[in-house]
Amino acid sequence: MADLLSLTRGALCECSLLAREESGAGVFLLEFAVEPGGGTPEAPSPGQFYQVRCGSGREHMLRRPLSAHGFALESGRQKVSFLVEAAGWGTEKLCSLAPGERVSMLGPLGRGFVLDGVGKALLIAGGIGVAPLFFLAREMERAGVAYDLLAGFNTGEKYYKPLDDLAGSVVACTEDGSLGTRGLVCDGMAGYLAGGYDAAYACGPEAMMSEAAGACEDAGIPCQVSLDSRMACGIGACRGCVRQGTDGSNLCVCSQGPVFDSRNVSWRK
């Protein structure tokens, strides 16, 4: 592992759970503290991720890639949070951790969102994809970047309530119409894109990001997307996360991304 770690600037660290809160049906906000002496990671930027080990034993060898939802440095102690949907044995195990329990993490990894030169942005989030965009929205508030955020969920029970505390305007929709307008987050997006944005940022299901990317391209607005991919190593060594680029090249999601210019991604139909 030591040789592989030389491929990344992420650090292998031990973290203990500080707080766990169910933020929506089956979705948990988990806040961890980096344990002293357990490695000292850099601060993550929005869009970067961690490879998180969900348990011990051989069946838990593969780590789960989780986008950072937030970061704080308090009295010299690093705190990092994740929004996790309990959707399989690994994430269910994570979501059932008790405060004080420890997990091993490698990170922060990958390339996050780029804000340079952006004065006003549109953020488009689908489901659990809200996690890195919430982090990005907080970063934009610190950097003085204006933004609007479109957020779509299957149902109102999944709505991420801390969105209500953001300084930017948030427009929510649900597929079943139980909260906000009924429909998909990209419905009517062309109208929003007429709002004078310098850039757009999207994270969510593949079909949603593909549609957002197309709408942004039609509007002439650059769009950065955070791709989801199954990952084994998370550091560019196994090539298990590769996606095809529009120029025929292979995009290594974990090391070249997970954030890409949407025009460089060959979208799956």
Sites of contact with ligand FES (CB under 6 A) = 231-234, 236-241, 252-254
C-beta of 18 vs 238, nearer to ligand FES: 238
Residue 140's φ and ψ, nearest 5 degrees, are -65, -40
How far apart are CB 58 and ligand FES at their closest, in Å?
A: 19
C-beta of 23 vs 48, nearer to ligand FES: 48
How far apart are CB 235 and ligand FES at their closest, in Å?
A: 7
- Measured CA to CA, the distance from residue 173 to residue 183 in angstroms comes to 6
How far apart are CB 189 and ligand FES at their closest, in Å?
A: 30
C-beta of 152 vs 257, nearer to ligand FES: 257
Question: Which two structure tokens, joined as six digits, stand for 109?
Answer: 């990894």
Residue 143's φ and ψ, nearest 5 degrees, are -90, 0
**DSSP state at residue 98:** P
| Strand boundaries in the chain, DSSP class E | 11-24, 27-34, 49-52, 64-67, 70-74, 77-85, 102-109, 120-126, 146-153, 169-174, 181-182, 199-203, 223-226, 242-244, 250-252, 259-261
C-beta of 38 vs 240, nearer to ligand FES: 240
C-beta of 213 vs 233, nearer to ligand FES: 233
How far apart are CB 255 and ligand FES at their closest, in Å?
A: 6
How far apart are CB 49 and ligand FES at their closest, in Å?
A: 11
Residue 191's φ and ψ, nearest 5 degrees, are -65, -40
How many other CB atoms are found less than 10 A from the CB of residue 26?
15
How far apart are CB 152 and ligand FES at their closest, in Å?
A: 27
Beta strands 146-153 and 169-174 are parallel
C-beta of 162 vs 236, nearer to ligand FES: 236
